[in-house]
Structure 1
Amino acid sequence: MFNPSSDDVRRFFCEVFRKQRANDILTPLEAMASDWVRHHPEYHDVLTDVESALGRNYSVEGAQANPFLHLSMHLSIDEQISIDQPPGIRDAATALTLKLDDAHAAQHEIMECLGEMIWNAQRNGTPPDGAAYVEAIRRRLR
């Protein structure tokens, strides 16, 4: 099972950005990550310096978005859609993308639903509820 540390994730995205700027060959996963990095130029400064990225603290109290968490959530949602897991997410995501006419905006809406599902699971001490997650996405279609 793949279980990267937060440092591994930060190194991964910094390396993707380095390769992107150098026009180096990317693995399929790096290519997916690279697309999301392109959509978030506000993160480029952070991704430029690996050592600084590793030492940075993105606490909730600091009210600063964690670019590595954000980019990781984009990749997670891509994977969920590609394998339709939880069941129905592919259709819900496709419908939301069509409604908004913007895949990136749709991903951000889905990301809010994903965050809510994770928060509820942690708060209640229960497994994540995939069906509720997909339903939350569908509610955004109304």
Structure 2
Amino acid sequence: MFNPSSDDVRRFFCETFRKQHANEILTPLETMAADWIRHHPEYHDVLGDVETALTRNYQVEGAQANPFLHLSMHLSIDEQISIDQPPGIRALATELTLKRDDAHAAQHEIMECLGEMIWNAQRTGTPPDGLAYIEAIKRRL
């Protein structure tokens, strides 16, 4: 199983950003990441400076959004939708996108549900609850 370190993830997004701006060939995963990077210009300065990206600490208490976590969650949701796991997420994502008339806004709503599921699992020491995740997305409709 692939288990990248925090530095690996940060390097991946910074390198994708660099390649994107140099018009270099991207891998399929980099192409997906580049699309989400385009949707988040507020992260471009961070992504353009690998050394700072590797040393910067994003604290929840400081209300600082972690661009690497955010972009990783976009990719995770893309993967979930592509394989319809947990079951039903593809249809719900489509329905939410149609309701919001904006795939990016829909993903952000799904992301809030994903974050809540992960937080609950970490807090309780239990496996992530896919059914609760799906129910949380349904409530967004």
TM above 0.5, one fold?
yes
Q: 2:81 corresponds to which residue?
A: 81
Instruction: Select between 57-66 and 73-82 the one with higher mean Cα deviation.
Output: 57-66
Q: 1:111 corresponds to which residue?
A: 111
Deviation digits for residues 98-141 of structure 1 (CA, Å, limit 9, x no counterpart) = 10000000000000000010111111111101011011111111
Structure 1 runs not aligned, ≥5 long: none
| Count of residues in Structure 1 that have an aligned counterpart in Structure 2 | 141
The two structures, once aligned, show a CA RMSD in angstroms of: 0.6
What is the TM-score when the length of structure 1 is the normalising length?
A: 0.98
Q: 1:67 corresponds to which residue?
A: 67
Structure 2 CA distance for aligned equivalents of residues 116 and 65 of structure 1: 16
Structure 2 runs not aligned, ≥5 long: none
Q: 1:26 corresponds to which residue?
A: 26
Give the superposition deviation at 1:80: 0.3
Percent identity of equivalent pairs: 87
Structure 2 CA distance for aligned equivalents of residues 126 and 41 of structure 1: 36
Structure 1 CA distance for aligned equivalents of residues 71 and 54 of structure 2: 15
Q: Secondary structure at the match of 2:126?
A: coil
Structure 1 CA distance for aligned equivalents of residues 63 and 109 of structure 2: 20
Within 5 Å, give how 1:31-70 maps onto structure 2.
Answer: 31-70=31-70
Deviation digits for residues 67-121 of structure 1 (CA, Å, limit 9, x no counterpart) = 0000000000000000000111001111000100000000000000000101111
What is the TM-score when the length of structure 2 is the normalising length?
A: 0.98
Structure 1 CA distance for aligned equivalents of residues 102 and 47 of structure 2: 25
- 4+ runs of 1 displaced by more than 4 Å? none
Q: Secondary structure at the match of 2:109?
A: helix
Within 5 Å, give how 1:88-103 maps onto structure 2.
Answer: 88-103=88-103
Structure 2 CA distance for aligned equivalents of residues 10 and 35 of structure 1: 16
Structure 2 CA distance for aligned equivalents of residues 120 and 49 of structure 1: 33
Q: Which amino acid aligns with 1:47?
A: L
Give the superposition deviation at 1:59: 1.2
Structure 1 CA distance for aligned equivalents of residues 96 and 62 of structure 2: 32
